[in-house]
Amino acid sequence: MPQFPEDPEAERKRIIKQRNLMLGGLLGAMAVLFYFISIARIGG
């Protein structure tokens, strides 16, 4: 990954957008996981 690309601002926005997407995805996945854990615990 280039550390100082020609358009740093565009690169900065791209990285932050990717990070936010990853974080949002992980939080969503965690919410789904908690839902299924609850079902499994109640079911068990």
Partner 1 sequence: MSTASAQPIPLPTDWRDFLSLTKPRVMSLVIFTGLCGLLAAPVSVDPILGFTAILCIALGAGGSAALNQWWEADLDAKMKRTANRPLPAGRMERSSARDFGVILSVLSVLILGLACGWLAAGVLAFSIFYYAVIYTIWLKPRTPQNIVIGGGAGAFPPMIGWIAATGEITLMPVLLFAIIFFWTPPHFWALALFVETDYAKAGIPMMPVVAGRHSTRRQILVYAVLLLPLAMLPFWITGGAGVVYGASALVLSTIFLMLALRVAVFRQGVGEADMGPEKRLFRFSVFYLFALFAALVADRWIMG
Task: List residues binding partner 1 (CB under 8 A).
Answer: 1, 3-5, 8, 11-12, 15-16, 18-19, 22, 33, 36-37, 39-41, 43-44
- Which residue, 12 or 28, is less far from partner 1 as judged by CB? 12
Residue 11 carries which side chain, given as an amino acid letter?
Answer: E
At closest approach, how far in Å is the CB of 43 from partner 1? 8
Min. distance of Cβ 9 from partner 1 in angstroms? 10
Cα separation, 26 vs 22, whole angstroms: 6
CA torsion, points 39, 42, 43, 44, in degrees to nearest 10? 120
